[in-house]
Amino acid sequence: MAKVLRDIIIIDEDLCDGCGDCITSCAEGALEIVDGKARLRGEVLCDGAGACIGHCPTGALTVEKRESEEYDEAVVQAELKAAAAKASPAAIPMAAPSGCPGSAARQWNDGPQQIQCEVSRDPAFKASTEKRRSELRQWPVQLTLVPPNAPYFKNANLVIAADCVPFAYPEFHNDFLKGKALVVGCPKLDDLQSYVAKLTEVFGANDIKSVEVLLMEVPCCGGIVQAARMARDQAGASFSVRATVIGVQGTNLGSQEF
């Protein structure tokens, strides 16, 4: 393909920390994270408008005029359509002879399960037990696997959690999950554009009451908030997105509304 002189994005790998904020701010899906760094997926996908620049916390992105392949809107639309199809219910394994039974949508409303657990293993204290409750009322929870029209999304208060959060925050069930639907994912390791597509379907198919995004304090986790905000806007929903940051040592570092 012939090259023309035009504006196109440039990425300084030394400055890029792989946070993923640029990915969800690029409506054309021109960027991806590879080996912890932002990469341009293809010159034809970048319109050179620089919408991603303002979302880069390290200043790793700039627009430069150079010889490159022409921006192709038809290719962009085809790529976005393919990403949406990948995240659609048809691509989700369900309980069927040809699918995985473990991915079938399930919901239970008869109260959380009680699990007896040992509270302390410290020999300085007398070991005691108490009843702890799981507040999970659905399956599956992985964002890639959940069907957008699953019954547990109807009129739900939804928690979108980065998948490290439940390990870091000890009171995850009591403080965040009680009475809510849940999806989890990793904004650093997974395809954020597919997250945007899936969440757009979930928001569009259900009357979601509220959304809280739980993310870790590390920079690469911010993309999950951007995915939720973009999906809300694309679905034409009116709820606010509450982002709550959890520290790597398990503390709640505060929230912000978007």
Contact criterion met (CB below 8 Å) for 243 and 176: no
Residues 22/82, Cβ–Cβ less than 8 Å: no
The domain limits of the chain are 3-86, 139-257
Tokens describing residue 3? 């090259």
Helix segments in the chain, DSSP class H: 21-25, 73-86, 165-168, 172, 192-205, 223-235
Query: Which carries the bigger pLDDT value, residue 28 or residue 197?
Result: 197
CB contact at 8 A, 135 and 112:
yes
Alpha-carbon gap, residue 69 to 150, rounded angstroms: 42
Local confidence band at 123 (pLDDT 50, 70, 90 cut-offs):
low
Q: Token pair of 256, please?
A: 């912000």
- Can you say whether the dihedral through the CA atoms of 117, 119, 121, 127 is positive or negative? negative
Q: Which of 92-96, 142-146, 201-205 has the lowest mean pLDDT?
A: 92-96
pLDDT at 215: 95
Spatial separation of the C-alpha atoms in residues 169 and 45, rounded to whole Å: 39
Tens digits of per-residue pLDDT, 44-63? 999 988 888 877 888 999 99
Tell me the sheet residues that pair with 10.
Answer: 62
Whether 126 has a pLDDT exceeding 90, the answer reads no
Question: What does the pLDDT look like over 74-118, one tens digit per residue?
Answer: 888 888 777 766 544 444 444 333 345 556 677 876 554 544 444
DSSP per-residue string spanning 24-46: HH-TT--EEEETTEEEES-GGG-
The CA angle 204-75-71, to the nearest 5 degrees, is: 115
User: How far, in Å, CA of 120 to CA of 123, rounded?
Assistant: 8
In which region does residue 180 sit, left (phi positive, over 0), alpha (psi from -120 to 50) or beta (all else)? Answer: beta
Q: Which residue do the tokens 């949406």 mark?
A: 84
**3-state SS assignment for residue 73:** helix
> Domain 139-257, what architecture?
3-Layer(aba) Sandwich (3.40)
pTM of the model: 0.61
DSSP tag of 48: S
- Cα 204 from Cα 207, distance rounded (Å): 8
Residues 224-246: what's their mean pLDDT? 93
Helix axes 223-235, 192-205, angle to 10 degrees: 40
Residue 90 pLDDT: 45
Tell me what pLDDT residue 186 has.
93
pLDDT at 82: 76
Give dist(CA 152, CA 73) in Å, integer.
Answer: 37
How buried is 161 (Cβ within 10 angstroms: 0-12 exposed, 13-18 middle, 19+ buried)?
A: buried
Instruction: Among 16-30, 41-55, 188-202, name the one with the lowest average pLDDT.
Output: 16-30
Domain 3-86 has CATH 3.20.20.450: no
Please state, rounded to an integer, the average pLDDT across all residues of the chain: 83
Q: What is the pLDDT of residue 201?
A: 93
121 or 132, higher pLDDT: 132
Residue 190 is predicted with a pLDDT of 84
Q: Report which of 175, 181, 173 is spatially closest to residue 209, judged by C-alpha positions.
A: 181
